[in-house]
Amino acid sequence: MEYALAAGLSYLSGSVPWALLIVRWVAGVDLRTVGSGNPGATNAARVVGKRWGAFILLLDALKGAVPALILPRLLTGEALTDGGEAWRRLAVVCGAAAVLGHVFPVWLKFRGGKGVATGLGVAAALHWPGLLVGAASFLLVVKTTRLVALASTVAAWAFAITCGVDCLLVRPDHFAPARWHLAGFALLTAVLITARHAGNFARMLRGEENRWGGQDLKPADSLKPAATPGSAPPAGDGEAGTIEAAAAAEGHAPPAPRSPR
């Protein structure tokens, strides 16, 4: 019963579409209709700017970290410092459910983000060595290629490999069942993130994937309609466009970007 309750609450936490809500509040548009159409932090950053994108990334990460840290304590009475087997098993269940909630949110007809930010939060909560390896891998790939999709996928696999090495070589007998559950979660999450970036990889092969720029992007410079049936797909998250084009696609006057109070 406690596993079902933890999974349900974690899924609901993961399914909160922070990127969609904040972009609508700040810019007055539906994030699913501009840029790449992906309701995630990367697309949001290129629509409303890097600072808002970083804030959304933090919120999406907390969707995974908070359930993984708090719910096991509430339901088992064990703390992270106790290192209990029950705590660790339940934390993995919470993390997995939160990632699934982000990728398949019930509020958006199960069409959500790509799971990277929420997976980052789970990694921070459950396995900080893997988090450090994944973060270093992400920064290295972004620095050398400026391809966020590639960097995110490499980071996910780096985290999974680190968890596996931890189980096999570093601490094979230390809470082995729970650590193997974590390694299995990391592997499945890496597969899911890779699958969610399939479109990005196809654009990379065609040389059409946009690279991460070096300056903040303003709404008036970055909003463009997302691909619709019968139209050409956008060339990756955040391809430049205009707010007027996005408004014209919806059949009304262009909305004026709003500053939060």
Q: Say if 259 falls within a structural domain.
A: no
Average pLDDT over residues 185-189: 96
Residues 6+ apart with CB under 8 A from 119: 64, 95, 99, 156, 159, 189, 193
Q: How many domains does the chain have?
A: 1
pLDDT at position 175: 52
Q: Is residue 226 part of a domain?
A: no
For 33-62, how does the pLDDT look when each residue is reduced to its tens digit (9 = 90+)?
988 788 999 899 989 999 999 999 999 999
More confident residue, 144 or 172: 144
**Given this model, what pLDDT does residue 257 score?**
52
| Residues 153 and 197: beta-carbon distance below 8 Å | yes
For residue 144, being part of any structural domain is answered with: yes
Q: Which residue has the higher pLDDT, 137 or 230?
A: 137
Q: What would the mean pLDDT of 72-96 be, rounded to a whole number?
A: 78
Q: Residue type for 163, please?
A: C
In the block, tokens 């654009």 appear at 203
Res 224: pLDDT: 52
Residue 245 scores a pLDDT above 90 = no
- Whether residue 248 lies inside any domain: the answer is no
Q: Are 217 and 223 in contact (CB under 8 A)?
A: no
Highest mean pLDDT range out of 78-87, 120-129, 215-224?
120-129
Residue 246 lies in a domain: no
Cα 167 to Cα 169: distance, rounded to the nearest angstrom: 6
25 closest CA partner among 258, 203, 242: 258
Residue 250: per-residue pLDDT: 44
Strand partners, 225: 34
* Contacting residues for 194 by C-beta, under 8 A, at least 6 apart: 153, 156, 157
Residues 21-34 have a mean pLDDT of 94
What's phi and psi for 7, nearest 5 deg? -65, -40
pLDDT of residue 180: 82
The separation between CA 165 and the C-alpha centre of its own chain, rounded to angstroms, equals 24
Q: Which domain holds residue 34?
A: 2-206
Give the distance from CA 100 to its chain's centroid.
Answer: 10
pLDDT at residue 35, rounded to an integer: 80
Q: Largest Cα–Cα distance of the chain, in whole Å? A: 63
Phi, psi of 63 (to 5 degrees): -60, -30
Mean confidence (pLDDT) of the chain:
82
Provide the strand spans (E) within 42-175: none
- The neighbouring-strand residues paired with 119 are none
Alpha-carbon distances of 21 from 128, 196, 215, rounded to whole Å: 30, 21, 24
Q: How far apart are CA 203 and CA 181, in angstroms?
A: 34
In a domain, 49, yes or no: yes
- Residue 193 belongs to some domain of the structure: yes
Give residue 227's pLDDT. Answer: 53
What is the token pair recorded at 139? 């920064």
pLDDT value at position 39? 92
- Residue 261, in any domain of the structure: no
